Amino acid sequence: MEGRTQARVGLVFLLVLLAAVAQRFTAEEEGPRPVFPERAEFHFIRLEYTDLPQYHRRFSYASRRGTGEGWWIVDWPDAEDHFSLGVGRLTRIDTGDPRHLRLTDDRLFDYPWIYATQTGWWGLSDEETARLREYLLRGGYLVTDDFWGPEQWEVFRQTMERVLPGRPITDIAESDSVMHVLYDIEEKDRTFIPGTRHLRRGAGGTIVVQQPPGTAPAWRAMTDDRGRMVVAVNFNTDVGDAWEYADSPIYPEPMTALAYRYGINYLVYAMTH
């Protein structure tokens, strides 16, 4: 319990620090990216993947006014920079520079934790599918995030059926160890984490969160044959945006804090199970 208390205190400190950074840098001048060690115990790995042809974007939205090709790049690089800073501040995990790799890159097996956004639009090739299956069955852990609605869910479900045939996608129980491995995440925390596109200015300049109609946040998982969770599924919610805008005064602080708790629990679980 002492360790969890210290971690919670550290999380509050981190959020105050990031808010202070937000006051120093405007959207037009964000300042330099953080500097991380090149060799460390943990590197945030963002997956580069093939889009479904009908949904491919020649230019997708990255942070820091960056542009790039494909849905995989959304929220890059601020999301992983801020999350990596949080991991370094809130845990004893030695944290290094965030990276992005294609699924077919042999270096993928050097990293126990990988992240993929916009997975309702991916169209993995047979080679990518086989590589992801091998990665997960060899002990890797995948976090998927920021995909919405029944159409994108079906794309994701069909893809994961190819990756792990016969393995169901189930809701994470409140009693599951991933919900308590560091932070205690309770039923009240199964709430919608908004992207910035879901924020509106209300009366007196307050920020109002508008959840997309017909969506309900879901926290799901896939396990291997030994019952180990190998895929975390953040559906109808946008954890990546909460990390990306952790230093923005317009983004709701409670949602950023919750996104850090989910992400760090996933990471600690992946490195200890």
Question: For a pLDDT cut of 90, what percent of the chain falls above it?
Answer: 75
For 198-214, write each residue's pLDDT tens digit.
998 888 788 888 988 88
Helices (DSSP H) in the chain: which residue ranges?
2-24, 78-90, 126-137, 149-163, 239-244, 253-272
Q: How much is the pTM?
A: 0.87
The amino acid occupying position 169 is: I
The structural domain count of the chain equals 1
For 74-127, write each residue's pLDDT tens digit.
999 999 999 999 999 999 999 999 999 999 999 999 999 999 999 999 999 999
For residue 233, list its beta bridge partners: 144, 220
For residue 113, list its beta bridge partners: 141
Name every residue whose Cβ is closer than 8 Å to that of residue 177 and which is 6 or more positions away in sequence. 269, 273
Write out the residue range of the structural domain in which residue 69 sits. 2-272
CB 123 within 8 A of CB 217: no
Q: In this structure, what CATH number is given to the domain that contains residue 101?
A: 3.40.50.12140
